[in-house]
Amino acid sequence: MAGSGSTTILITGVAGFIGFHLSRRLLSQGHTVLGVDNVNDYYDVGLKNERLRMLKEFSSFRFFKENLADQQAIEAIFRQNTVNIVINLAAQAGVRYSLVNPQSYVESNVTGFVNMIDCARRYEVSNFIFASSSSVYGANTTLPFSVKHHVDHPLSLYAATKKANEMIAHSYASSFHLPVTGLRFFSVYGPWGRPDMALFLFTKHILNELPIDVYNNGDMVRDFTYVDDVVEAIVRLIDHPAKPDPNWSAKSPVPYSSFAPYRIFNIGNKAPMQLLEFIKTIEKELGKKAKLNYLPMQMGDVPAAIADAEELYHAVGYQPSVNMEQGIHAFIEWYKSYYK
């Protein structure tokens, strides 16, 4: 489907970072994209509107400014359009914000998710792909994080809502045979990225000679994953809806597959980097030194998040192709151009 011929793909969170890049890729391949986003002000609405402006240049793009928690509005989109595939990327993002505004997470990530997956079931879409998060690994310290690990100890409400999405998705796969695939993203970065993410914040502060907050005194490790690699993985999975696992055993159940059409994958870079090394790479690219403000670990955060993406490799041949130096260079080139 994603490789040849036109498919109608509904993408939520289309004004967001990953949603924008994925939509642009699919539109350039000739597909019809129905984009849904409420364009909230969690971060710069101007950035979201500029992403949307670029998507609207494609004649096969249609935009619906709706809140996923509005059941009637979501139902109307499915009723009035033939939807082949759903890719649910919309969510209230951010671990730290979930500590102060829990209701927005329940509304978007739980109520909104149920509205989407229930419409996908009733309107018989062929594949439902959704964003989970590396944050579901929570208190687990066995590295690298594997989809074979159980994820029963989330450290933030954000992580708990993503774990809930995986459980809800399994119930729909089991009850209605809806093919569902959950993707645990690891620290996605790149051009048009989110202003609340590390690379964006660090670049902005270094250029403006402001100190940058370095949590856990810099003793953090992340599997930073370039957005084009993430998009490539999703595009490949469009053509590979989840199938029941014939080797799944109810007596010794694995958490990443099922007797139902259900799969969970990690999407990471397989090249983890220390936070201080990450900062040095940004400094080198900018030709400026950072002022570091060392802070203790933040509530809800984890010291290390490294992905084992072997299952994704076996399923669709996923191999990340962009290294950190290339990715940071591409982001900073975009940042300087966009912000003049």
Annotated catalytic, 158? Answer: yes
Residue 161 in tokens = 């809502």
Q: How far, in whole angstroms, is CA 206 from its chain's centroid?
A: 26
258-294 burial code (b ≥16 CB/10 A, e <16): bebbbbbbbbbbbebbebeebbebbeebbeeebeeee
CA distance 248 to 228: 32
Strand-pair partners of 171: none
Tell me which of 137, 158, 226, 335 is the catalytic residue: 158
How would you list the strands of the sheet with 127-133, edge to edge? 61-65, 32-37, 8-12, 85-88, 127-133, 180-185, 262-267
Q: How many CB atoms lie within 10 A of CB 49?
A: 11
Burial environment of residue 5 by CB neighbours within 10 A (0 to 12, 13 to 18, 19 or more): exposed
Decide: 189 and 224 in contact? Cβ < 8 Å: yes
Instruction: Enumerate the active-site residues.
Output: 158
